[in-house]
Every structure is written in structure tokens, then in C-alpha cells.
Structure 1
Amino acid sequence: MDIKFSNYQVIEGGICAVKGFQAAGVHCGIRKNKSKLDLGAVLSDVPCHAAGCYTQNKVKGAPIIIDQKNLENGIAQAIIVNSGNANTCNVDGEEKAWKMCELAAEAMKVKPEDVIVSSTGVIGEILPIEPIQEHIPELVDQLEESGHLNAAKAIMTTDTIPKEFAIEFMVHGVPCHIGGMAKGSGMIHPNMATLLCFLSSDVNISVPMLQKALKYVVDRTYNMISVDGDTSTNDTLTIMTNCKAGNPEITEENEDYEAFLNGLYVVLQHFSKVLAADGEGATKLIECVVTHAPTESLAQAVAKSVITSSLFKAAVFGEDANWGRILCAIGYTEGDFDINKISVKLANHTKDILVCKNGRGVEFIEEQANFILSGDEVRIIVNMHDGDQQATAWGCDLTYEYVKINGEYRS
């Protein structure tokens, strides 16, 4: 896919950048800290075409089971989401998730089957429905176009910042929009990681093409990030489009579909990088770009091997140009390729240095490598010299703080 990063404009408003969407966030009491918002909502003024992607973990949060049923018809109008409790591995999980849909639907005056429900937080603890039921009227009363930031804050767990993004771009000569909010900091690994992401749009596109586009872009963005190698149970990424932009309905792969695909990639790539950079305890974003691979799937596998290597992640934290750990990670990647063709560069926004050629080390100036590794973004460029396919993956360094955060997660 040839992404055109000049064909869009960043705009304000997050998930409410699309006209017709409102959002809100409140503290209902699931989280003990009263300063933390823990219940969020999004509402469209009309039913939307909708699609979703979810965790590939065999253990799935109860809200995912409900969402998969609710989205079978490709229609949704609202979102209800809590943080502080994942509602996973509970005997009454599905009952509670459906109850959240019913409570939200009654207050928002929509159908319960048109509500997307999500939860994030501690696994295996019973979700108390009482604080949610008590505060949903307050939550719905606060729905407004300016409520997007509070909604983004309400889905945070160990995130250090709320994550919002929105763009305007053209489809068939018509201005279109995609906005969204996301969360994710730990328990993140390729195959949809502990993350929630909710997108809004106004592009007129059929449900089958919307689902196809979402899956295609997720495979090349969200499924290419990792923080700690743990695939979560509650990963959910949904998109709702009210189809109001005015473009002819997209029902096949054509130029309009490519324009939408491009916009969706821009948004999800942005969130992927922000999520990886905000990994628990992280101080540096790691980006691995694999070029000239024989197949895209192999390029993806190699890129993911590099950014998931604990040894290499630790080396980046220590700002140690131990490139041998990169080659080691490449070497244990499944697939048929010649390690003796591989070259590796360390890079940042302004400089790159060659550290490995033809699978062997080359002389380089250590101080230059240290300078590259001292920044908050480190880029690894792997050239396989064996084709024309490429892929990019994103991760972060492994720090002392990661262990501290996860050693005290429930407390």
C-alpha cells in the first residue's frame, strides 16, 4: 500500500471531530482514585455503519462476546466503556456487559443492540454494575461535542496521557473525516494488543467494505506493535461512520476506497506509535522498518522479532549499540531467507549509521551510535536485499519502571 502522508490535515476534536458525534466521561467509582474518570460514552445522532476487530487471545473479555453479537448486522450508534475492571473471566460477565448496553441504550434513547460495550482494567474481578447504573444518567447528561477529552481520559488505565487524533481528507472531491480515541500502555503485543480504540467517521462506505478496510489496516498498524509480549483479553477496535460526508457510497475497491484506506492508515499508524511510545515505563519509541523482503508477511515477522526482543529493548534503554541482538532476533524469525544478505542501520530523524552488512559487523563510530540511541525515538532499518516488500513495527524500550508498574498493578 502506497500511503500518501500529504493527503490529509490534522484537526481538533478527537472522536467528536466528526459532526453528529458527542462524548463524555465521568468518575463512577469503579476506580478508587476519585480524580480518575472511569466511565465513558460516545453517541451518534443517527445509526452508523460499524465494524470491529478484537483480541486473538482465547480468553476474551465478556464485552467482546456482546460486541460481536451486536455488530453482526454492521450497525451501531453508541459506546459505553469503563476502566478499572476488565469484566473478564467472570461467571456473570456477559450478563453485566449486556446490562451496560441496556442501561446506556435507555438513557441515550437508542437500541441496546446498537451499543458497543467495552471494559479495561484488572482481569478476574467481578464488575460492580451498581456504580455504572447510578452514574449513567449523569454521563449521558454530559454528552456534548466538547466531551471527547473526558471520554478519552475515562478509558485510561496505566496510560500517562489521553490519546486522541482526527484528520480531514478528500474522497471523490468531498471533505471527509476520521476521529478517534485510544488507550493502551501495557499487556500489548501483536494480534491486537491491551488496547481500546474507538473511531468515528462520516465516509459513506458499505459495511462489508468498512470491515475489509479496517482489517487490512489493523494488520499493518495495531498488529505491528508490542510493549511486553503479552496479548490482552479485551482488545477492541471499532469504527462507526454516519455516512454523511456526501461521497458516493464505496461498495468496491476503487480510488475512493484507496482514499479511505489511506486516511484510516494515517489515523491507526498515529495511534500505534503513540501507544508504543507510552508503553509502561517506556522512555523511547522503537520503530523497525524492514525493506526489500521477498514477502510482506516475512517483512512483518522480522520487524516484530526485532521490536519484541527483550534483550534488544533493554539495550535501547541502556543506550547500548549492541546490534548483535538485532541480528539475533532476525535470525530466529520463522521463514526462508538468507541471513548473509541482511544489513542493519541505526537511525533517528536526522542521521543513520550502518552497523551490519551481509550479516557481519562493520566498523562504526560508537559515539554516533550512542547519539542516535540517546533520543526518544530510535529507528532500526533492516534491508533483506531479497525482494520489494516492506513492513514497519513499533515497540519501546524495557525499563526498571515496567517491572515496578506491573509488580504493583492491583494496588
Structure 2
Amino acid sequence: MNKDSTNGIKVAAPGDCISGKGATAAAGFSASGVSCGVRKSGVLDLAVLFSEVPCVVAGAFTQNAFRGAPLGVTEGAVEGGALRAVVVNSGNANAATGAAGVEDARRMQEVAADALGVAASTVAVASTGVIGERLPMSNIEDGIMDAAATLGNRDDGLAEAILTTDTRPKQVKKTVEVDGRTVTVGGTAKGSGMIHPNMGTMLAFLTTDAEVEKEYLQRTFSRAVERSFNRVTVDGDTSPSDMALLLANGVAGNGVLDENHPDRAAFAEAVEEVCRGLAKMIARDGEGATKLITVNVSGAGDEASASALAKSVVGSNLVKAAVFGEDANWGRALNALGYSGAEFDVSGASISFGEIEVFKNSEPVPHDPGKANAQLSGEEVVITVTLREGEAQATAWGCDLTYGYVEINGSYRT
């Protein structure tokens, strides 16, 4: 598997949202990734993320009715509200494995707790990979102890160890001023296939060294997830393993962030920027993808309608295939708007591919088809939908549908 290096990322201006170090960018967090044989030999497949002090935590979990065994274990830890660590493996989802799978997830929690010297209730568990197979627990236990013993030696091991069909690690960080102190929000994610806007098929682990009130942290994270991970689609499939966590350890020394704090908006925007950056990386790295598709909807009556319209267009297999073929077939985008379920005045709908307007106020716009097609020739494609309903807007991200996607998923287990 080709894994693009995360080294050598250009340095952005202070406070900018940049790629590079992710979940270990915030002070007080460390990680390690190891190879324990769940996947092929030598490939990192298990990681531990650790905080020096207890964290308040917010979470978002899959909407699939068949939930992987780690989900219940982790939800219990999140409700406890004092997380210290996350242990995660790739190559095996520990999903559809019955009571034995739950026992395995709890065993991962217990082994990690013993190795780290913390309470089991403060350890979150996550798994991603093949559905319906038991975890090789001997390998897993050895891997956990190895990762715990090498924390900080290879922080970027977390980003690599959680990959499955991904072609590159996904990490983002953002800094912001809170009470005159520099606060960092960092995130590491995986996701490439089985991605749909119901918490993606993805794992995401975000951290911050800010001190944050738990209820406010959850509200902030839920809003950010809705505007980012829940607006990504690759193939319309939602995994049983989806999970996103945000851990806040408070070591930055700021005053407690809550609904009344003067810097709450800046912090919330930082969290959303990190989530949005990771979401776009997931869409860009869709299985077999050659193009990132961004759909912007503006002029909607409310954000929910704008979101539904954007997700409908970016999730259309016909739109995705047309983008792959560099065919600006605007009728496919129009069709996806129509079945989105959102209520809007079709007479006020306009569509553009890149800089070329092809449909305005429910009427075709004369244009050069070659120039319209050329708007789809690059690695990033933007489709813009404008309505005359109000001021609300939303953006969704996806990728083209290619021969490569079929090839990858036609032999995923073999």
C-alpha cells in the first residue's frame, strides 16, 4: 500500500489550519503505532493515543444499526467523562462478532489500562477493517503492550496504524488564542471506502489542550461533525465502526471554555476547521478516486435544506461518474437536487460547473460544452448550486466514481 509521507508539509502562518502533526499536536498527548500481525507483516496496525492527565471527552458514533463491538465499550467510557487513552487497531473491525467480540473489546480496554497504569473505564476502544471475524487477541495484546511501552517514540504511528484502504495518513492541526494562551486542536483520521454522511465510514481522533466544560465540548463537537464528517460521501455505505472522539485535557491553562466564554466562537471554529480539513482529506482519498468534488449550495431557506441538497448532488453515482468522465452533464446534478427531499422553489435554482454557469433560474444557459467539460479536468471539481430561498448555505465533499473503486471492492477480502 502506498502511504504518502506526512513529513515536509509546508509551514503555515500562525493559527492557520495545516496538515502535519495531528492528534499529538496538542500539549500533553502522545501516541505510538506498532505492527502486531493483524494485517500483513511489517504494516502498522495497532496504536495507542495517551493523555498525561484525565480528559473530558465528546463523541459521535455510527448510525448503522449493526454496531461494532468497540462502540458500546467506548460510549461507556465517554459517558464516564474522564478519558486517558484510546487503543485502536486496523485490519479487523470486530463487528458482527457477537458476545465474544464484546469480550475482546473489553479485553483490549483492560490490557491497555494495565499497560498504561490507568483505570479501564478511562480507555476508549476502536477497530476498523474486515467485518465478521474475531480479533487475533494474542497479537492484539502483544501490540498494545508494545505501543504503550513506546509512547512518543513515533507519534505519527497513530496516523499510519489506523489506515485500511487509505493511500495516505490524514492529520490536521489548528491553533487559537483563548484567554491570551495558545490553544491547539489537532486531529488524526482514517477513511477511504464505505463512506457516507452518517458519520462517514471513518475513525477520527481529535485532541485539544484547552480546558473545556463537558456539555459545551459535546455541543461544539456535534455541530462540527454535522458540518464536516456528516457531509462526506464516497460510495453511500455507512460502516458499523464509525467513531469520532474529541479529548480535552486542559493543560494549556486557559479559563474553562463554556457557552459564556468570550473566546468560545474562536475555539468552536478551530474544532470545525480541523474536522472540515480531515473530512476533505477523506473525500479526496476515496477508494479509486482521481478527483475531489466539492458541492456548494447557497441561497437556501435553512442550513438543513442546503446540507440535504449538497449531499444529494455529491452522493449521486451519476454525478460522480460524469465527473470521472469529465462530462459536465448538468442534468444529473439537477436530478439529484430534485430527489434530495429538501423543499425549495425549483424556478430559482441555478447550477455552475467551476466558472461556467449551465443552468439559471430553471432555464438552460447557452454555453460552450467543451469549456464546461474542461472545468472537470483537474484534481478538484467545484459544483455550485444557487437558490433564491434565503441566506443559508452548506458544503459537501465527495469524489468521482472510477474503475478503481470496483477493482478495490471486488476483492476487498482476497
On whether the aligned pair clears a TM of 0.5, the verdict is yes
Task: Decide which of 149, 156, 163 is 2:163's aligned counterpart.
Answer: 156
Structure 1 residues 253 and 292: alpha-carbon distance in aligned structure 2, compared to 1, 3 A threshold: farther
Are 2:107 and 1:104 equivalent residues in the alignment?
no
Structure 1 299/6 Cα, relative in aligned 2: closer, same or farther at 3 Å? farther
Conserved 8 A contact 1:168-1:175: yes
Please give the per-residue CA displacement for 1:113-160, whole angstroms capped at 9, x wherever unaligned: 10010000001111121101123222112111x522111100000000
RMSD between aligned residues: 1.4
Does residue 184 in structure 1 map to residue 191 in structure 2?
A: yes
Q: Which amino acid aligns with 2:259?
A: E
Asked if 1:229 corresponds to 2:254, the answer is no
Kindly indicate whether residue 48 of structure 2 is the aligned counterpart of residue 45 of structure 1: no
CA separation of 1:267 and 1:323: change in aligned 2, threshold 3 A: same
* Equivalent residue in structure 1 for 2:405, among 382, 390, 402: 402
Aligned to 2:331: 324
Q: Distance in 2 between matches of 1:372 and 1:6?
A: 30
What is the aligned counterpart of 2:391 among 363, 372, 388? 388
Deviation at 1:253, TM superposition (A): 4.5
Pair 1:209 & 2:216 matched = yes
Residue pair 1:327, 1:359 contacting (<8 A) in 2 also: no
CA contact (8 A) 2:27 2:252 kept: no
Q: Quick one: distance in 1 between partners of 2:343 and 2:186?
A: 40
CA separation in 2, counterparts of 1:286 and 1:308?
A: 10
Counterpart of 1:217, as a letter, is A
Residue ranges of structure 2 left out of the alignment (5+ in a row) = 1-11
**SS of equivalent residue, structure 1 residue 44:** strand
Which deviates more from structure 2 when the two are superposed, residues 113-122 or residues 332-341?
332-341
Alignment of 1:92-171 (within 5 A): 92-144=100-152, 147-171=154-178
From 202, 208, 215, the counterpart of 1:195: 202
Partner secondary structure for residue 196 of structure 2: coil
1:247 counterpart letter in structure 2:
N
Which residue does the alignment assign to 1:74?
81
Aligned residues between the structures = 401
For 2:13 and 2:231, the matched residues in 1 are separated by 23
Counterpart position of 2:265 = 258
- The residue matched to 1:16 in structure 2 has which SS? coil
Pair 1:90 & 2:97 matched = yes
Cα distance in 1, alignment partners of residues 260 and 244 from structure 2 = 22
How far 1:232 moved relative to its partner? 0.8
Q: Does 1:54 align with 2:61?
A: yes
Give 3-state SS (helix, strand or coil) of 1:72's partner. helix
Q: Distance in 1 between matches of 2:190 and 2:173?
A: 15
Conserved? CA contact 2:211–2:248, under 8 Å:
yes
Query: Residue type matched to 2:377 in 1?
Result: S
Q: CA deviation at 1:35?
A: 2.9
3-state SS of 1:373 partner = coil
Tell me the distance in 1 between the aligned counterparts of 2:134 and 2:301: 48
Structure 1 equivalent of residue 36 of structure 2: 28
CA contact (8 A) 1:8 1:263 kept: no
Q: CA deviation at 1:251?
A: 2.5
Shift of 1:263: 0.2
Q: Which shows bigger deviation, 160-169 or 276-285? A: 160-169
Alignment check: 8 A CA contact 2:86 2:125 kept: yes
Give TM-score, length-normalised by structure 2.
Answer: 0.94
Distance 1:225 1:285 in 2: 11
Q: What amino acid sits opposite 1:402 in the alignment? A: Y
TM-aligned CA deviation for residue 370 of structure 1: 2.2
Q: Per-residue CA shift, 1:153-211, capped at 9, x if unaligned?
A: 00000000011111211123221001121000000001101100001101111111101
Report the Cα distance in structure 2 between the residues aligned to 1:290 and 1:253, rounded to whole angstroms: 31
Aligned to 1:17: 25
Amino acid at match of 2:46: L
Equivalent-residue separation in structure 2 for 1:132 and 1:7 (angstroms):
39
Secondary structure of 1:320's aligned partner: coil
- 1:231-264 Cα deviation digits (max 9, x unpaired): 1110000011111212210122443221111000
The answer to whether the 8 A contact 2:28-2:209 is kept is no
- 2:263 partner SS: helix
- Aligned residue for 1:363, secondary structure, equals coil
Helix, strand or coil at the partner of 1:15: coil
1:371 aligns with 2:374: yes
Q: Identity of counterpart residues, as a percentage?
A: 46
For 1:210 and 1:99, the matched residues in 2 are separated by: 29
TM-score normalised according to structure 1 size:
0.95
Q: Distance in 1 between matches of 2:389 and 2:262?
A: 30
Structure 1 gaps of 5+ residues are: none
